[in-house]
A and B are shown apart, each in its own frame.
Chain A
């Protein structure tokens, strides 16, 4: 135990002192915030207005399109029905029109439906086409209704909008969209675990390779058990990772608030809501909104947070131990590529299962099974917890997770010990299997 804590300390200090680690710790949040603001800036930027010429021989639609101008969209319509189509076609480039909408005169409205043309040099966006079709279609519908002597106003009034309220059998009112919120919370935590594993798993692998590249491995292995070394490296590196992650979060949030105060950009949703704020907000909000918030507070918040911590640690440790096993098997990082894919696969799989299966059926057999399997359980189970999971399932899942972790570390230690004898030899899967038998 004493030796393990010694190794943890060394690994932690070695990681934290590393220059690239220090640089990345302080540079990443800056980059992150810069990118976030750049994206925000881009999306808030008004797209340049595109001018669309309309040649309307029927004289029915031009006014409707000109109404669209008032909405202040991206497109600006010009009624140029007096000019001939051929002249307009020639002037598209010259006058810098984005396109020309030609509505010919036809015998019937039915015929018109398939006769309208849009001429442009660049293909128009789908939303533009749909919008244009909507405008024309609704106009034609209106004309058709009038022709049929129907009261359009009455029809408009007759149209119903239905809003179904959900309720639980216990009587309390339930809310639509709550499932999405639940999966959002679970998914965010699950995603965080995945990101952390991808970023810091490699660090564990590099630290396991370190003794080999420094050729100190024989001295170390003649002093400590490889198992202790592996545990020490995994824990020490994760602590450094967690520290970096926390610094990122603090700096990132700080910068976000500072920048939003400075630029006046609203970054509200990222902020946590304190209970005091909640109460004052509750008084202001009425009806459904209040119910949503009440419902959110009814979520098993404590078990979500505890679950997150446990699965975060367990999941990270398990994946790290796989990275450690790879590090134990190879001499340098370039050799490790072939082994990395099988590790990333279950990670991606669990995110997919989370977002497709758990959303539809949080307690279905697929979701339950994958929340037990150690490789997928950290993410899948975390997504299930907001929906309420029986404690025995969590107990089985967590114990399986940690048991597998120790098994894989043992396995990695075994590979590590045998790997010493294989200096400079590229390992293959077949060779790894052989090593296990030694």
Chain B
């Protein structure tokens, strides 16, 4: 069983509005899976179905080989986008309570809490009330709460919002550490740079439909444009341009370089990169030759704008 979570043709309607239209996903075990999509795409609806907050109208969800059922809430950790804790409860008691709700014994919960509080350097907060903490501090507590019971599946909705760069880094390291320990993480965010950094797999949901899914590398390959950024020092610009425009599509490029070179974007289509390189080396000194790899951000924007219906 290589997939921890499988979503099969899930449909969810609110009245006449279709929030999820036969969405299927496969989340491999031990991966960090980026769930992407613009606002209102249906990500939160899907996450709520996985958390059994709402039920799908049709379709099914398989967790670890079993159809999703109430006992599974104890194997899932959920950090909702909507952050909040009982504001008048003390931090320690609150964490104990929430951990026990996830099925931990009191002693086990205490042990885990000590471990996490120590790890994040927040031991002194035990007797503080949530209302005395800053937003970022409360968010740290919330992160601890959702990982205390060592969930097999961790669902993080915008985990970095509200954190300063230092704390965001701390949380990022913890997420990677959890992955090392075998947790599978679903990661929903708008911040593409963190997706690039963390995710192995991504899927893109737009207008209630899944448009893209796969390993990050595969998705990028699917979106490659076969164009190269080229920097070249040459005396004969006209001759060079004449040679390459015959075969390829050329446009001016803009990248940083220490040389006073000619900067070009060259689309080679189905041709081999060496074909272009041969022409270039005959005409001058090549200082820069890089394939343009689409960023997740590019893919996101391109897909969403293309599918504007």
Contacts and interface: CB of A to CB of B under 8 A. Distances in A.
Interface of A: 3, 6, 10, 14, 18, 210, 214-225, 417, 420-421, 423, 434
Contact of A216 (B48, B54, B76, B85): B85
B53 interface: yes
B82 A6 contact: no
B78 A417 contact: no
B242 interface: no
A92 to B, nearest CB: 65
B14 A421 contact: yes
Contacts of B84: 214-217, 219
Contacts of B86: 14, 210, 214, 216
Contacts of A222: 51-53, 73, 76, 78, 80
A215 B14 contact: no
A219 B145 contact: yes
Contacts of B83: 215
B115 interface: no
A214 to B, nearest CB: 5
Nearest to A218: B80
Contacts of A223: 73, 98, 101-102
Contacts of B88: 14, 18
Given A224-B73, A420-B53, 16 more contacts: A6-B101, A14-B86, A14-B88, A14-B89, A214-B87, A215-B84, A218-B78, A218-B80, A219-B146, A221-B51, A222-B51, A222-B52, A222-B76, A223-B102, A421-B14, A421-B54
Interface majority SS (helix, strand, loop, mixed), chain A:
helix
A1 to B, nearest CB: 13
B100 interface: yes
B70 interface: yes
A225 B101 CA distance: 11
Contacts of A219: 78, 80, 84, 98, 142, 145-146
A328 B85 CA distance: 18
Nearest to B100: A6
Contacts of A417: 53-54
A220 B142 CA distance: 12
Interface string B55-91: 0000000000000001001001010101111111100
8 contacts: A6-B100, A214-B84, A218-B53, A219-B98, A222-B53, A223-B73, A225-B70, A420-B53
Contact of B101 (A3, A214, A421): A3
A214 B15 CA distance: 28
B289 interface: no
Interface string B87-111: 1110000000110111000000000
A218 B76 CA distance: 13
Interface of B: 14-15, 48, 51-54, 70, 73, 76, 78, 80, 82-89, 97-98, 100-102, 142, 145-146
A51 B138 CA distance: 75
A222 B75 CA distance: 11
A420 B98 CA distance: 19
Contacts of B146: 219
Nearest to A220: B101
A254 B92 CA distance: 39
A423 B44 CA distance: 13
Given A210-B86, A214-B87, A221 B101 contact: no
A216 B76 CA distance: 16
A431 to B, nearest CB: 11
Nearest to A225: B70
Contacts of A215: 82-84
A217 B84 CA distance: 8
Contacts of A420: 53
- By Cβ-Cβ distance, the 3 closest A-B pairs, closest first, are A215-B84, A218-B80, A222-B51
B10 to A, nearest CB: 16
A128 B53 CA distance: 72
Contacts of B51: 218, 221-222
A222 B86 CA distance: 16
Contacts of B70: 225
A426 B252 CA distance: 55
Contacts of B89: 14
A94 B80 CA distance: 82
Nearest to B99: A223
Contacts of B101: 3, 6, 220, 223-224
A210 B87 CA distance: 9
A423 B81 CA distance: 13
A10 B73 contact: no
B229 to A, nearest CB: 45
A2 B145 CA distance: 20
A219 B48 CA distance: 11
A219 B82 CA distance: 9
A29 to B, nearest CB: 25
A6 B15 CA distance: 36
A214 B85 contact: yes
Most buried by B among A14, A219, A224: A219
Most buried by B among A214, A217, A224: A214
Most buried by B among A6, A214, A218: A218
A293 to B, nearest CB: 51
A286 to B, nearest CB: 61
Nearest to A229: B101
A221 B53 CA distance: 6
Nearest to A437: B15
Contacts of B73: 222-224
A218 B82 contact: yes
A420 B83 CA distance: 14
A438 B54 CA distance: 10
A221 B102 CA distance: 11
B61 to A, nearest CB: 14
